[in-house]
C-alpha cells in the first residue's frame, strides 16, 4: 500500500511564526517551494501552528496594502492546521486534501513531528489519471 510517506517531499523547512513575510518569501525562493510550515518558536517541540503560501503573502499581505517586512508568518496563520500521519494511505491523503480543498498537506510521524509535505505535484507523480482528475475536480470546485 502506498502511504503518505511514499508521496511526500521529505525534510521540510520550517519558518518561525515570528519571522517576517519578506524573509518567508526569500526562503521560498531559495528553496524553490510555494509553501512553508510555520512553527511556534516558544514551543520546545516546534509544533506546527499553520502553513503559509506564496499566495497568502501576495493576496493577504501585499495586495491588502500591508508591508511584508512588518507582518509575520504567525499573523497569517488562521484556524487549525491540517496534517496527516506518515502511514496514512493514499485514500486518506486524498480525502483530507479534497475535503478541506488544500493543495499542500504536511505529513507527521508518530510523535507528531513534521517529516514532509505532500503537494499537488507529488500527487501528479503517483496517482493514475482518474484519481488525479477526481482530485482536481474536488479541490478546485
Q: What is the pLDDT of residue 92?
A: 95
C-alpha cell at 125: 507523480
Reply yes or no on whether the pLDDT at 42 is more than 80: yes
| Average pLDDT of span 38-42 | 87
Tell me the longest C-alpha to C-alpha distance in the chain: 47
Average confidence score pLDDT of the chain? 90
For residues 97 and 111, give the distance between their C-alpha atoms in angstroms, rounded to a whole number.
Answer: 22
Spatial contact of 97 and 106, defined as CB atoms under 8 Å apart: no
Strand 84-85 relative to strand 48-53: parallel, antiparallel, unpaired?
unpaired
Q: What is the pLDDT of residue 78?
A: 77
Reply yes or no on whether the pLDDT at 88 is more than 90: yes
Reply yes or no on whether the pLDDT at 58 is more than 90: yes
Amino acid at each position: 500500500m502506498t502511504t503518505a510517506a511514499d508521496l511526500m517531499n521529505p525534510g521540510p523547512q520550517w519558518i518561525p511564526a515570528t519571522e517576517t513575510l519578506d524573509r518567508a518569501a526569500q526562503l521560498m525562493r531559495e528553496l524553490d517551494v510555494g509553501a512553508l510550515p510555520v512553527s511556534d518558536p516558544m514551543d520546545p517541540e516546534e509544533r506546527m501552528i499553520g502553513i503559509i503560501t506564496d499566495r497568502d503573502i501576495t493576496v493577504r499581505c501585499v495586495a491588502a496594502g500591508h508591508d511584508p517586512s512588518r507582518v509575520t508568518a504567525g499573523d497569517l496563520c488562521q484556524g487549525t492546521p491540517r496534517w496527516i500521519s506518515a502511514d496514512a494511505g493514499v485514500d486518506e491523503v486524498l480525502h483530507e486534501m479534497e475535503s478541506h480543498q488544500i493543495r499542500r498537506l504536511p505529513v507527521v510521524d508518530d510523535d507528531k513531528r513534521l517529516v514532509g509535505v505532500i503537494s499537488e505535484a507529488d500527487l501528479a507523480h503517483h496517482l493514475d489519471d482518474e484519481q488525479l482528475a477526481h482530485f482536481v475536480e474536488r479541490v478546485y470546485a
